[in-house]
Amino acid sequence: MIKFFYAPHTCALASHIALVDADARYESVRLDFRKEEQRKPEYLSVNPKGRVPSLVTERGALTETPAILAFIAQSFPAAKLAPLEDAFGFAKVQAFNSYLCSTVHVAHAHRMRGYRWADDPAAIAAMQKKVPASVSECFGLIEHEMLEGPFVMGKGYTICDPYLFTLSQWLDGDGIDIARFPKVHAHRRLMAERPQVKKALEEEGVTTG
């Protein structure tokens, strides 16, 4: 059985939703970041990066959200979570998820984790101040160039959708009014009504508006 490691209010939610979408059998393990459980030897033996999510399979552990989402889509093809028969279509899914991982998430992380890039308090403060602008720029690109609607790739639901939903949850905390991005806002409302999303949030003990 798959073993899924997560912490609430993190990007792990995307993979959690996808597991529910796929009707996968999995055991979930909640990590408490307040107790720094992600840095304890037991978890570092699973994921030396000390981050979530992690997915332990029969063949070993996987980390990084785009990789985990792709694995779920390919392991449960009946769920139709990606255009697996279309090389270009699947590459577009991967490109979108890679952008969320490498650019959008990193821009957001400058608000709480500036220490990853600088030691100078003034530099960290400058990074934090930049977050509303840098994250807004990312979501502006998603709004106008990437999000086809109603789902990311158009009419069909894919592994892009739980990932975008997860990161769009962070806009309020980043000081950004989601109403500035009507398509992203509509997507978040649409996703919030899906039973699979509600189930994943319930399992994590998280409520969302």
- Residue ending a domain, choose from 29, 63, 79: 79
Domain count, the chain: 2
Q: What is the pLDDT along the chain (209 residues), one digit of tens a residue?
A: 899 999 999 999 999 999 999 999 999 999 999 999 999 999 999 999 999 999 999 999 999 999 999 999 999 999 999 999 999 999 999 999 999 999 999 999 988 887 888 889 898 888 889 999 999 999 999 999 999 999 999 999 999 999 999 999 999 999 999 999 999 999 999 999 999 999 999 999 987 65
Which residues constitute the domain of residue 21? 2-79
Beta-bridge mates of residue 13: none
Look up residue 142 and give its amino acid: I
Residue 204 resides in a domain: no
Tokens at 178, concatenated: 């989601």
Q: What angle do CA 164, 167, 172 make, to 5 degrees?
A: 130
**Pairwise CA distance, residues 115 & 139, whole Å:** 24
Mark which of 26, 48, 79 sits at the end of a domain: 79
Q: Within a domain: residue 202?
A: no
The answer to the question of residue 138 being in a domain is yes
CATH of the domain at 110: 1.20.1050.10
Find the length of the chain: 209
Q: Is the domain of 22 the same as that of 115? A: no
Domain-terminating residue out of 79, 106, 139: 79
